[in-house]
Every structure is written in structure tokens, then in C-alpha cells.
């Protein structure tokens, strides 16, 4: 018995899409009462903090439909079923930025919103970037623009909320910490 | 015209639950083609990094149904419609930990997963914690246990993936940075 476990009495599948699935579970609470939980199933994702040889961070700007605006983020993408996160990371880096790398360091992983979603994000740091002559094309419904920034510039974008998502904000504070540790 | 804007052609409401809504938008892409976007609407959330007078961080352990396991997280909760995040923060802190505070500092805010959800997370730091004699009760379907840890202990929990979510991992690296800046 896991602590505070909520046993599933019944699962109702509501939606099965190209990115997310939604189900509603009826659960038995630790106190014997019943409740419902709304659960988003997501394949998981990978993000890369790419650092160029002149110590700039490579970001991509893209429109985020849920927010009806564009954000500046580190390159990222969804895991394919059965794919190793490192493989996804290298591919998304090339597709979105035109860079590749032979050097990928695991930084951390985290659930993005464990209250309602199972999305797990893997975060890597990559140096020794090399421009690819004919990079892989992004997904056909993906439109991104590359922006290379110093850490100080990136912090400005955080304060203006142009950089404003969990993985990228994490990346910025992580890089600040790295800089202090040198 | 916003950069790379995706104009909505049609919205299909799929689900309207107690926590999330799900809709599928048919969109016109910047290249004139059409695609669909699956969007989760969420009321937004608030989290607090509570630091006790003896410099421990107050966490709560709770079962997370989407993951079928419990995580150790900083206290957090959903925004009520129209509620100021600071008010939510103080209430959730008291409900989940039995502490209150007169001192709340804004740390950052971020979208937890902007590719498919509009959830915005506000993060605060709180010191000068006071134990409440008869604290507000948690939500009736919420079961949490308090765990107070030093920063070094918390980092151990990160490495064991018992602390494993965006807001809490952010909090840990942020506190590490604060410590280096002293």
C-alpha cells in the first residue's frame, strides 16, 4: 500500500488525441470516500540547453496556441514511443536550431504538472554545437525562429515574461547557479 | 499579426471538468495549411517555498494519481476564479502545512507546459513562518503529510526522484543560487 494511495474504481476514457489523452478516474480515497481525478496522459518530452562556442544560449521563439502568444523557449519536443530521451534531444535540437552536438549532459528531469498530467520532462545541457549544413526539417506544423542570447540578456527576457515556461525558467536559474560555481 | 500566429478556424469543446477543460482547435498555420491543436484550460496555480526559522524547507508528500505514486513537493494549489495569487498562496500554505506567514516574496511565474496547457504557476518564497493553532482544513479529497528538510537533504531527494516536479525542482535550484549569492 503506497502512502495515501487512491485506488481506481473505474476509468472513463474521454479523449485520445495526437498529443494528449484525457481520462477521468473514479477513485477510493484513503478515508474510504470516493472522488474523481481528471488525468492527462502525455508521451513525455525532452528539452536541451544549447550553449554556443561563444557562450550564447540558443532559444527558439514559437507561437503557443494555448496561450495565444509566442514564447521564447529552449528547444524541446515530445518523446516518440520507445525512444531514448537523448535521441529525441539531438533530433529536436537539429530540427529547431540547425545545430547538432556530440556532447549532451543530463541536467534533471521533472513532471511538469503532476496534479493533472503525467508529462515527464528530461532536460539536457549541450556544448560543442556544430552547425548542420542541411538540417532535419521541423515538423510540418511547427514554425520557429532562433534567438541566441547571453545569460544576462536571457534574464531580461525572463523579467519581461517573454521567457515564461517551466523548463526555460529552470534552465536560466540553473545556468546562473553554474556560473556562480565556477 | 503576432509572429507565427495560428488563427482559430473552429473550436470543439471536448470536456469541461472540475479541474481542466479540453478543447480541440482547428487552426490556420502561417503557411496557409491547416492543423489541429489540443488545448487544456486550467485555472492556474500557486506554490510557496516555505522556510522555517531554523532554515528548513517545508514540503508536503501527497499521492499524485496521474503518476500512481506520491511525490514530495512544495505546498501548492489551484487559483480560485478572480483570486489574487498571494491570497491563494497564504491559504494553501496554511491548509497543507499548518503554517502561516506575514512575509511573501514573489520569485517567478511560468507556464508549466505551454505546448498543450495554459496553466500558469506563480511561485513565492515565505519566511517568518508561524504555526497556526487551528489551521484551515485541506480540501476534503486532499491527503498530505508534512516533511521539513534542509537544502542538502532536499537535494538528496531530487537525486532519488522523490522530489520530481517542475515547481519543486525549480525551488531547489533557486535556493541553491540564493545560498551562493549570500
Interface predicted TM-score (ipTM) of this complex, two decimals: 0.96
Banded model confidence at residue B180, pLDDT cuts 50, 70, 90: very high
Residues A49 and A28 in one domain: no
Asked whether the beta carbons of residue B6 and residue A63 sit closer than 8 angstroms, the reply is: yes
- Catalytic residues of A, by residue number, are 140
Whether B22 and B10 have beta carbons less than 8 Å apart is answered as no
Distance of CA A94 to the CA centre of its chain: 16
Closest CA–CA distance from residue A34 to any residue of chain B (Å): 8
Residues B95 and B136 in one domain: yes
Residues B65 and B111 in one domain: yes
pLDDT at res. B140: 85
Residues B13 and B74 in one domain: no
> Which grid coordinates belong to A4?
495515501
Residues B62 and B27 in one domain: no
For residue B63, the chain A residues in CB contact (below 8 A) are 2-6
For residue B177, give the nearest of A14, A121, A177 by CB distance.
A177
pTM above 0.95, yes or no: yes
3-class DSSP state for residue A173?
A: helix
Residues B25 and B87 in one domain: no
Residues B171 and B139 in one domain: yes
Domains of chain A: total: 2
E-state strands within chain A? 7-16, 21-28, 34-41, 45-50, 57-64, 69-73, 76-78, 99-111, 120-131, 144-149
Percentage of chain A lying above the pLDDT 70 cut: 99
What phi-psi label fits residue A3: left (phi over 0), alpha (psi between -120 and 50 degrees) or beta? Answer: beta
Residues B77 and B12 in one domain: no
Residues A174 and A152 in one domain: yes
Whether A61 has its CB under 8 Å from any CB of chain B: the answer is yes
Using one digit for the tens of pLDDT, what is the confidence trace for B21-67?
999 999 999 999 999 999 999 999 999 999 999 999 999 999 999 99
Q: Is residue B2 part of a domain?
A: no
Whether B167 and B74 have beta carbons less than 8 Å apart is answered as yes
Q: What's chain B's average pLDDT?
A: 96
Q: Is residue A1 part of a domain?
A: no
Residues A174 and A88 in one domain: yes
Residues B11 and B92 in one domain: no
Q: Is residue A2 part of a domain?
A: no
CA–CA dist B10, B8 (Å, integer) = 6
Whether A146 has its CB under 8 Å from any CB of chain B: the answer is no
pLDDT at res. B141: 87
Using one digit for the tens of pLDDT, what is the confidence trace for A66-119?
999 999 999 999 999 899 999 999 999 999 999 999 899 999 999 999 999 999
Domain that holds residue B133: 45-181
Which stretch of A94-98, A170-174, B21-25, B135-139 has the lowest confidence by average pLDDT? B135-139
DSSP A17: -
3-class DSSP state for residue A2?
A: coil
CATH of the domain at A154: 3.90.79.10
Whether B131 has its CB under 8 Å from any CB of chain A: the answer is no
Residues B52 and B140 in one domain: yes
Amino acid at each position: 500500500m503506497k502512502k495515501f494511495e487512491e485506488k481506481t474504481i473505474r476509468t472513463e476514457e474521454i479523449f485520445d488525441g495526437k498529443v494528449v489523452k484525457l481520462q477521468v478516474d473514479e477513485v477510493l480515497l484513503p478515508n474510504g470516500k470516493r472522488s474523481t481525478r481528471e488525468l492527462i496522459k502525455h508521451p513525455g518530452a525532452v528539452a536541451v540547453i544549447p550553449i554556443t562556442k561563444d557562450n550564447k544560449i540558443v532559444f527558439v521563439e514559437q507561437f503557443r496556441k494555448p496561450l495565444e502568444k509566442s514564447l521564447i523557449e529552449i528547444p524541446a519536443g515530445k518523446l516518440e514511443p520507445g525512444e531514448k530521451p537523448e535521441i529525441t534531444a539531438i533530433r529536436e535540437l537539429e530540427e529547431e536550431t540547425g545545430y547538432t552536438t556530440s556532447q549532451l549532459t543530463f541536467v534533471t528531469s521533472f513532471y511538469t504538472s503532476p496534479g493533472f498530467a503525467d508529462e515527464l520532462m528530461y532536460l539536457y545541457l549541450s556544448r560543442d554545437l556544430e552547425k548542420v549544413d542541411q538540417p532535419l526539417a521541423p515538423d510540418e506544423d511547427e514554425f520557429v525562429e532562433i534567438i541566441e542570447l547571453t545569460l544576462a540578456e536571457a534574464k531580461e527576457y525572463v523579467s519581461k515574461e517573454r521567457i515564461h515556461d517551466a523548463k526555460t525558467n529552470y534552465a536560466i536559474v540553473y545556468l546562473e547557479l553554474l556560473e556562480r560555481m565556477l
